[in-house]
Amino acid sequence: MNDKKDIIVGSSEKLIIPVEKLLEPGCVIELHATDRPTMRNVLDEELEELSYSAKAVADEYYELVTNNCDWEAFAHNSRTKLESYIALAGLSCEIYLKALLFQYKGVKASERKIHDLKELFEKLQECQPDIASRIIESVSGDECDSFRFELDISKNLFNDFRYGYELNGYEINISFIQRLLNSLKQITQDALK
């Protein structure tokens, strides 16, 4: 009647579920008194909702940075002010990357606390290479090595600059950060229409 790998749920209306489906993260079986039992993946729904919420938060940080920081005159900004803008720009980039990863199911629950931009970008590249290529092209043209070099230097923007007063000095490419931030905003906007 059914293979040993299946589980039967329900009484008069039966839903046969392969065991491997039950082992997937977020799998939920809903039983209703009058309806046929249904199975859905809550994790997928949660991640999609998270992607839109993350984008909204990243957009707010983006607005704070772009409306309050004169990137062209960054040398005239106070060090503390500049470090605050860099930290917020880094946080915004991080959250945009997470929004894309949530949208394309490229992040596990255990990975949600990652702040490393390089690591998040590599995860995006694994699950959505076309989007990752668009980001590289938008930020650095065809210079993939240049993009990776700058991303490596900037990978911990939020972590490093939220405690900027503890830094003795730093090397950072403001232009790269600005292009990355603008690119991530546009590409996330396109992906989450």
pLDDT in tens, 43-70: 667 778 888 999 999 999 999 988 887 7
The two structure tokens encoding residue 61: 């940080």
Range in 15-29, 64-78, 119-133 the model is least confident about = 15-29
Together in a domain, 50 and 112: yes
Q: What is the pLDDT of residues 102-160, one digit of tens each?
A: 888 767 766 778 899 999 999 999 999 999 999 999 999 978 899 999 999 999 999 88
Domain boundaries, position 58: 44-191
User: Distance of CA 142 to CAs 71, 122, 153, 172, Å?
Assistant: 24, 17, 19, 21
Together in a domain, 102 and 24: no
Contacts 24+ apart (CB under 8 A), 104-112: 104/128, 104/131, 105/44, 105/47, 107/47, 108/25, 109/25, 109/43
- What's the CATH code of the domain at 165? 1.20.120
- Per the structure, the count of domains in the chain is 2
Together in a domain, 23 and 103: no
* Angle at alpha carbon of residue 101, lines to 95 and 104, rounded to 5°: 145
- Cα–chain-centroid distance for residue 150? 19
Together in a domain, 28 and 85: no
Q: Are 19 and 6 a contacting pair, CB within 8 Å?
A: yes
Together in a domain, 31 and 56: no
Together in a domain, 30 and 111: no
In 182-191, which positions are buried (b, 16+ CB within 10 angstroms) versus exposed (e)? ebbbebbeeb
Reported pTM: 0.74
Together in a domain, 25 and 51: no
Together in a domain, 89 and 51: yes
Residues written for the chain: 193
Together in a domain, 49 and 113: yes
Together in a domain, 53 and 35: no
